[in-house]
Structure 1
Amino acid sequence: MDGRPSHEPGTPRMSRHDWWGIVLEAPDPRALARFYSELLGWEIAKEDADGAAIAPPEGVAYIAFQYADGYVPPVWPAQEGAQRMTMHLDFEVVDLQAAVAHALELGAREADHQPQENVTVMLDPAGHPFCLYVDGSGS
């Protein structure tokens, strides 16, 4: 992408300037950051009154959470006249049952509609859908 720097291999991550991420709106962004931090084992990299961000131990990606006044959670699956899901997160796991149990312990819930055998659609505490899946390719 024009305007983004390139870095030599081995450049320390905190001195890089090519970070990228996604931002989820939430009624309590700091609580949602703690949920995903515990779910993924990522550190809370930033936290203030309006939001928070988490980052993995390596790489330059992040998930941020920002306060949204009047937040309305999306529905899954889509329903006419209801707030539609505009994106969702996917996380590959090696033990789907254990990953689902862990997410439930942290406050997620399973969605009623489950479209695939190797995927479990979950709803985070703010209602955002996310998928836990195992590689169905057999490799």
Structure 2
Amino acid sequence: MAYVSFRGTFLEEDPMPTLEKLRNLRILNLEDNAFFGNKMFCSAQGFPKLDSLIIEGLYNLEEWMVDEGAMLALRHLEISNCRKLEMLPEGFRFIATFQELKITAMPKMFQDKLVQGGEDFHKVQHIPSIIFKETF
């Protein structure tokens, strides 16, 4: 199983365009200022076998874009403590394999967009398990 974890690396350049080319990558963790920029982008056909993604403590991340066709095998996503992130990527609504989305230590405004009736609910309504913890 291919696994990559970055923690406290303060990368200034978006790591996604490089990491998404790792064809056998199944688990990716970006934690505690692994990426210090404010925009991430995942392109179509990127991360073909990625099963699990954790994004935690990317304090400057404001915008995350995921093209349709990216991460088509993703089953588990956890977003934690990315307080400037304004919304989930539109591309998530195309990922049919999604099983669990976990949102922890995020602003209530972020959570409110994802619940039924919220402006981003259409992106996550197909996910069987959505867990919210420690919102503020």
TM above 0.5: no
Q: What TM-score does the superposition give when structure 2 sets the normalisation length?
A: 0.31
> Larger Rg: 1 or 2?
1
